Chain A
Amino acid sequence: MSRAITLSLFGLGLWAVVFCAVYALHGLGCAGGWAGQPGVAGLSLHRAAMVAVWVAGIGVHAWSLVSPVFGAGPLGAMPRIGAWMGAGATLFTLFPVVLAGAC
């Protein structure tokens, strides 16, 4: 049961971690002038760092959506539902990293 609870919290917990990490990178990059430094694929260092964390987070979310670890258990489909909620939240709340002006 404890394992089922932990798995149910995983998706949204991961969203919280990725959200905090990207927000922290945003602040650090603006203060450190990363926006003016070259990164990869034509992106500035600042945007590249944020996009990298966002994409890595989405990758882990994607794994949780298909992994049998998150299959039905004592809490039914809650782990998988939690995984979907977390993935949706990460995708939606952090999509501005590819759209909005950084600083």
Chain B
Amino acid sequence: MSRTALQLHKEMEAVWADAPGLRGRAASVSHNTIGLRFMATAAVFFAIGGVLSMLIRAQLATPDGAFLDVATYNQIFTMHGSVMMFLFSIPMLEGLAIWLMPKILGTRDLAYPRLTALGYWCYVIGGSVILLSLVAGLAPDGGWFMYTPLSSRAHTPGINADVWLLGVTFVEISAMAAAVEIIVSILRLRAAGMSLARMPLMGWYILGTAAMMLVGFPPLIVGSVLLEIERAFDWPFFDVARGGDSLLWQHLFWLFGHPEVYIIFLPAAGAVTTILPVMCRTTIMGYRAFVAAILGLVFLSFGLWVHHMFTVGIPHMALAFFSAASTLVAVPTSVQFFLWVGTMWKGRPEMHLPMLHIMGFFATFIMGGLTGVMLAIVPFNWQVHDTAFVTAHLHYVLIGGFVFPMMAAATYWMPRITGRARLRGVGEAAFWVIFVGFHGTFLIMHGLGLMGMPRRIATYADNPEWVLGNLTASFFGMVMSAGFALFFFDLVMQALFGRHARRNPWGADSLDWAMVNPSPSYNFASLPRAGQGPGDTLALARGQGVLAGAPRGLREVLVVGADGTPHHVAVLPGNTLLPLWTALVIGSFFGAMLAGLYWAAPLALAAVAAMAWRWRLPRPDAAPDTVEVAPGETLPTQYGVAETLGLTGLRTFLVANATALASLLFGFGFLAVVAPGYQPAPAVGALGAGALAVVVAAFGAAALAARAGAAWAGVVANALAVAALAVLAGQIGDPTAQASVALRAVLIGYLAVHGVIAALIAAGGWRAGWRLWQDYSALAALIAAALAVAQGAS
């Protein structure tokens, strides 16, 4: 039966749209809604971070700045960095990826809509707590990288550092959630026939970004957990006197911190690569070279972290390793620049507003990249370490490499978001004010740094040579802020008063423009095939594509293999308040820790486990075994296949989990080799050795039970493993005495958590997931036992 586009639209809206009212908005799990919320919330945090930067520049405008007292100033600059990094940059890129990727890939939503919503609520709640701490005068004040021992209990006795550690970790739940679901969505939810080799480059950029998040965030999460445990329970991971080492924190932080720069840069570069050929009326040059450059950046950026630590006293050879890697990463970056220039060369550039921001990106990021190469050279790095030169460099990289491309992206996709065209002239004025203000502020700061001005100082009364530079930088800083205000004013005016925009105003050829304006909740009434584009919009809206409409009243999407072959039809969950409640329950755990109510934290964790139980998805009554996705083309639904989206997601998550374990093992190795006061943990005795043997045997038995599908045997085996771990914990000694013992206690806790989760999955009846998780848990237990044996514990 042939249906009109309007009939299909109504049918799809009934299934995919958000429910009305406040409750309906809170229950939304749509990538359209959540993606825009992420970006809007990140923009608010950007504005707050910007105000904080204005306070910093006001303080530094004069040498005896009395604008802020030193304690408040410390909170302000710490919060500026933390807000811009954790509450603006990462959520903004997450929001862009969440909102854009399903459209570019030709699908209707991400793989785990409820996880999208959970990530957003964790972000909002965690970010709000961090922000409220500033209002209460309890904000973090140790710098955005929270170096120990400054951030340890002895030197930061209040809850300032706890706010950072707990708040940022809470927010990072959203980053991990986004990483997993974006990877799975890109790998499995593309248009029919769209092999990875034919995927738009934005897909490769976001895939690279998400992979880096998956591996880059766990070291920071592990570091934050260790530091919070040290602060809360006096376990001395970073205390040199008791076998710890403050450099362990620096390693764990920068193992995240340097890839983070590329995590921010890659999506921005993806936006440039998507927008540039459209602005130049041509196609992008060198598809495979771009993919190779992305792969190069993804890997090489994990080999540079020590260049943030060149001054801590590292042997020459290690300095040379990381100096070489730091210069090498400029190669794939440069490859992209030459390809962008080549694309402009072969096309006919038109200087629309997005193109203007891209030109700003080129000019600014090139300079930031070059100072980056300078900083990769050890002797120069020693000279300017912790000076305003580094501050200038990082702003050239982050504003040049992220903010300018994001402004290009915002102006490019605003017609898709709002359905309206922008007002002429305001955006151009905003660009020039920002551009002049930015370079006026930070170009000068390079000079101040070379003149020896340290970063993070509040006054400089004894250095009159810095006065003029600082006053000038402060003036242009205010100019830049006015420019950003004008930019947001322009966006708001466009959203409220802009003319109706044409459906494809830029003449792009990608699938994100193959839908009506603004984009509907379901994106495509029928899904496109590879090779289709904006020219097929009407045909897709009339149901002439794949999996047309929602005849069963279910949110159905097409799942494909790596080569784009259709594999099955997945049924996604609908709107629910479950993510919001879950975020609040998780928040109660972090709240209990922050308030020092440590007795309540296990109760909160139990509540989290109970909430997780409610995330199981029963099969809807209307879900069939097979679906005819196109005339003569029938596919099974997820209820009849082994390789479901859930299993791919769990496999992806285990990569992050394994990285966390590897970070912990790195801690063992690092302290044993480097920490000056390190002492091996004492032997655990016969009872401890026996308990360890039981742990390994019980996890092994549970893995066998998973293979046999014997759920309750698995639950019992995991319970036995957890009980044996409790016995072992009683035998390892006092964790407050030595860092080596404390690390063992953490490893025991890690295994116990895995046992509990394995038991929950087993009882929940997800056999394939249980087997995978149980195998991983058994492997982790074996590694832990091998480590204990190697340390002579038994």
Contacts and interface: CB of A to CB of B under 8 A. Distances in A.
Interface of A: 1-2, 5, 8-9, 12-13, 15-16, 19, 22-24, 26-28, 30-31, 74-78, 81-82, 85, 88-89, 92-97, 99-103
Interface string B376-409: 0000000000000000000000000000000000
Interface string B292-304: 1001101110110
A92 B299 contact: no
B187 to A, nearest CB: 10
A15 B299 contact: yes
Interface stretch (B317-325, B366-374, B754-762): B317-325
B324 A26 contact: no
A94 B328 CA distance: 12
Interface string B645-681: 0000000000000000000000001100110000000
B120 to A, nearest CB: 30
Nearest to B673: A31
A78 B328 CA distance: 20
Nearest to B320: A96
Interface of B: 195-197, 288, 291-292, 295-296, 298-300, 302-303, 315-321, 324-325, 328, 561-563, 669-670, 673-674
A53 B670 CA distance: 20
The 9 closest A-B pairs by CB, nearest first: A96-B320, A1-B562, A12-B299, A100-B317, A1-B563, A31-B673, A93-B324, A93-B325, A100-B320
Nearest to A30: B315
A12 B303 CA distance: 11
A82 B562 contact: no
Max chain A C-beta neighbours (<10 A), residue from B302, B317, B319, B674? B317
Contacts of A8: 295
B316 A74 contact: no
A51 B611 CA distance: 53
Contacts of B562: 1-2, 5
Given A31-B673, A96-B317, 6 more contacts: A27-B673, A28-B673, A76-B197, A82-B292, A93-B325, A100-B320
A26 B300 CA distance: 19
A5 B303 CA distance: 21
Contacts of B296: 12, 85, 89
B674 A27 contact: yes
Nearest to B326: A93
A85 B292 contact: yes
- B interface majority secondary structure: helix
A74 B288 CA distance: 12
A102 B300 CA distance: 23
B321 A16 contact: no
B318 A26 contact: yes
Contacts of A13: 299
A60 to B, nearest CB: 16
B196 A5 contact: yes
A93 B298 CA distance: 16
Interface centre among B197, B299, B303, B319 (most CB of A within 10 A): B299
A103 B315 contact: yes
B74 to A, nearest CB: 34
Contacts of B328: 88-89, 92-93
Contacts of A9: 295
A78 B299 contact: no
A101 B303 contact: no
A5 B320 CA distance: 31
B292 A81 contact: yes
B302 A16 contact: yes
Contact of B316 (A27, A76, A101): A101
Contact of B317 (A81, A82, A97): A97
Contacts of B669: 24, 27
Nearest to B319: A100
Contacts of B321: 19, 22-23, 26, 93-94, 96
B295 A12 contact: yes
Given A74-B563, A96-B320, A85 B295 contact: yes
B447 to A, nearest CB: 32
A89 B561 CA distance: 31
A100 B316 contact: yes
Contact of B196 (A1, A100, A101): A1
Given A19-B303, A85-B292, A75 B197 contact: yes
B315 to A, nearest CB: 5
A43 to B, nearest CB: 13
Contacts of A30: 315
A95 B674 contact: no
5 contacts: A12-B295, A24-B669, A27-B674, A76-B288, A96-B321
A92 B292 CA distance: 18
A32 B295 CA distance: 36
Residue among A13, A88, A93, A99 with the highest chain B CB neighbour number at 10 A: A93
Contact of A75 (B196, B298, B324): B196
Nearest to A8: B295
Contacts of A102: 315, 317
Contacts of A2: 562
Nearest to B304: A93
B288 A95 contact: no
